[in-house]
Amino acid sequence: MDLTEQITQLEADLQELGSLLEKAERKRVQDLLKQEQKKVEKELAAKRQQKEQQARKEADPSAATKAAYTVKITSYAWDQSDKFVKIYLALKDVHKISADNVEVKFTERSFSVLVKDLDGKNHEMTVLNLLYPINEQDSYKKVNKSSAAYSASSPQSSGHEIKPSLDDNADPGEGLMNVLKKIYAEGDDEMKRTINKAWTESQEKKLRGEEMMDY
């Protein structure tokens, strides 16, 4: 049942309650009808307001985004493989908003993330002027229950040549590492602490793995 039909039903209920109230003779019955009448009036007012908001949103879909203020995303984690650098953004309830509200743009030398109208705010992260290019075509986003993941693809993994050229013996993951270095260099103290923590934990896991192999 859509809002228009709900409003129509509530209006009919209110009209019938008014008719019954006029016919009621006993005070207790009148009081009960008045209580129900107030309850229906309150519900009807809420539905009408909801319909007005819906109409405004349909007339101007960007109104909600314009009204919300924007905050920078500073809390995230990352992972790296030969083909991708994956950025994980911790955003509570992000799965509850429309997928269209989660935007990511990749260019050869930058990427940006905009999550619109989440918890009354827009959430934004932008990294510009990357030292090495990324593959726009193979980069993508994925939204989970409490996080959004963005995978930036390295052209090196697809056989593309990077300009300026690198040493032929260079590590294939070097271009991906520079994405993270760029984020670290431009980030605030909280962002740097997050990266340092993730790096330390990664190294500790590698060390534990080597110790187990030695054993």
Please tell me which residue, 155 or 75, carries the higher pLDDT value: 75
Type of residue numbered 188: D
What pTM was estimated for this model as a whole? 0.41
Mean pLDDT for the stretch of residues 177-187:
67
The pLDDT of residue 35 is 92
* Residues near 46 by beta carbon (within 8 Å), at least 6 away in sequence: none
Residue 212 has pLDDT above 70, yes or no: no
Evaluate whether 88 touches 140 at the Cβ level (below 8 Å). Answer: no
Percent of the chain with pLDDT over 90: 12
pLDDT band at 167, cuts 50/70/90?
very low
Q: Name the range with the highest mean pLDDT among 31-45, 108-122, 201-215.
A: 31-45
Mean pLDDT for the stretch of residues 26-43:
91
Please tell me which residue, 92 or 154, carries the higher pLDDT value: 92
- The chain-wide mean pLDDT, for the chain, equals 74
- Length of the chain in terms of residues written: 215
